[in-house]
Structure 1
Amino acid sequence: MSERLDTIQFSGAAGVIDCALDWPIDTPRGWALILHPHPLHGGARDNKVVTTLSRCATQQGLLVVRPDFRGVGLSAGQFDQSRGETVDMLALIEQFSNRFAQWPDGPWLVAGFSFGTSVAAQVHAELADAGAASPRALVLAGTAVNRFRFRQVQPPADTLLVHGELDDVVPLSEGMEFAREHQLPMVVLPQAGHFFHGKLIQLRELVSRHLAGLGT
């Protein structure tokens, strides 16, 4: 998946945020934050959709941070319905920027799968409201933003939404409602379920093309 895998820890409001770092083959030209599905239903940073998204980013020359949310693995705290998780990710972004200051102007992106889409969208909105540097791209797979949304979100017009036609966890109709609400196009993978079993190669190719087209 990457040239090198490391681990790194940041400090969130509940304590340690334990993360994997996926390095690209060459010197990174930017970075990506990729967020996993629901912690209470087995979601963790090694989820196959998350690692597929990571591979897309490393192939674009980005250093990937894959955190475990509160209560998962070595990360401190307990599940907080996306509120605490959003606060933690904002802290992680600030600390990452300080530790890896060699890429102050490099492209960066935020991606999420399932529960992770809600945190990703709300992180983007919080940064926009604060006038902080926003990610170059927002990628949401199996969009469940409204299930855990505690604030208004404003996903950018070039947000990539990907959903499985046969998703039995977050129904396609729910993803389409989010897309309709924000006037965003959505890519539907035929016969794909929530975890994109048998469709991960298609997902990888789709996301890779999108990131390459954005110049990330």
Structure 2
Amino acid sequence: MPEVMFAGPDGRLEGHYHHSDNPNAPLALVLHPHPLHGGTMNNRITYTMYRRFQEMGFSVMRYNSRGVGRSQGRYDGGIGEISDAAAALDWMQMVNPNSTELWIGGYSFGAFVGMQLLMRRPEIRGWISVAPPANDYDFGFLAPCPCSGLMIAGGKDTMAPESGIRKLVEKLNTQKNVDVDYRILEQADHIFSQQANQIADALEDHVVTRQTSLFAAPAEAAG
């Protein structure tokens, strides 16, 4: 898992990047929780998602947004952090010019940033949002949401309550061609202290199912 430094909009950004041995492997970018509340690329849930994407054969990156770890710059209220995510994606695409499948994953604040990036980058094929802070941030920008994805909530989460996430899921599922895979881990709070493996398993199950659907559709149309 080599360390990388790449150019961001407010200085150099620090990341960990795994390059798959598979030619033209799919790409995944994983975003960490809120930097003002201790969120870094080494967060346990962020790392767990990164590792599972790696084990699935993806080329994958996790990185520190501006002002975190060795990344330059200062926290920018979410706006600059979206630009940081775009810079990380640009770097990955530069290193993998022939890859045609891209996923975005985020936990808590990282889920908000990831969904913002989704709206700006039409090449993203799928997304994973763990405990998106639906009560604290306005997700109304997902109109329409470009593609389907996986949303995970903790049944005992008081920071990103399941009820708020459920309302977001229901709203997204009214949109044409969007089918959110919604999973509730009933015993989990916002930290998911005992549920990291469950999150990883849900991620893999969703991604494999979506990949099968995405790649089967053209064949069925041709037949």
Which category describes the TM-score, using the shorter chain as reference length?
A: 0.7 to 0.9
Q: Normalising by structure 2, what TM-score? A: 0.84
1:153-172 deviations in whole A, cap 9, x for unaligned?
24345210001100121111
Is 1:118 the counterpart of 2:112? The answer is yes
Letter of the aligned partner of 1:109 in structure 2?
Answer: W
- TM superposition shift of 1:215: 2.1
Inter-partner Cα distance in structure 1 for 2:193 and 2:211: 28
Task: Give percent identity, aligned residues only.
Answer: 26
Q: State the Cα RMSD in Å.
A: 2.1
- Checking the alignment, whether the CA contact within 8 Å between 2:12 and 2:72 is kept in structure 1 is yes
Inter-partner Cα distance in structure 2 for 1:54 and 1:151: 27
Higher RCO structure (Cα 8 Å, ≥6 apart): 1
Which has the larger Rg?
2
Q: 2:41 — aligned with what? A: 45
Q: Normalising by structure 1, what TM-score? A: 0.86
Letter of the aligned partner of 2:167 in structure 1?
Answer: E
Structure 2: gaps spanning 5 or more residues: 174-179, 213-223
Letter of the aligned partner of 1:51 in structure 2?
Answer: Y
SS at match of 2:118: helix
- Checking the alignment, whether the CA contact within 8 Å between 1:115 and 1:145 is kept in structure 2 is no
- TM superposition shift of 1:99: 2.9
- TM superposition shift of 1:147: 3.1
Q: 2:30 — aligned with what? A: 34
Q: 2:164 — aligned with what? A: 174
Q: 1:131 — aligned with what? A: none
Structure 1: gaps spanning 5 or more residues: 129-133
- Checking the alignment, whether the CA contact within 8 Å between 1:16 and 1:76 is kept in structure 2 is yes
- TM superposition shift of 1:91: 2.3
- Checking the alignment, whether the CA contact within 8 Å between 1:122 and 1:149 is kept in structure 2 is no
Inter-partner Cα distance in structure 2 for 1:189 and 1:136: 25
For residue 15 of structure 2, the aligned residue among 14, 19, 22 is 19
- TM superposition shift of 1:14: 0.8
Label 1:96 to 1:201 Cα distance change in 2 as closer, same or farther (>3 A).
Answer: closer
1:42-99 deviations in whole A, cap 9, x for unaligned?
1000111111111221122101110101110011111112110111221222232223
- Checking the alignment, whether the CA contact within 8 Å between 1:138 and 1:155 is kept in structure 2 is no
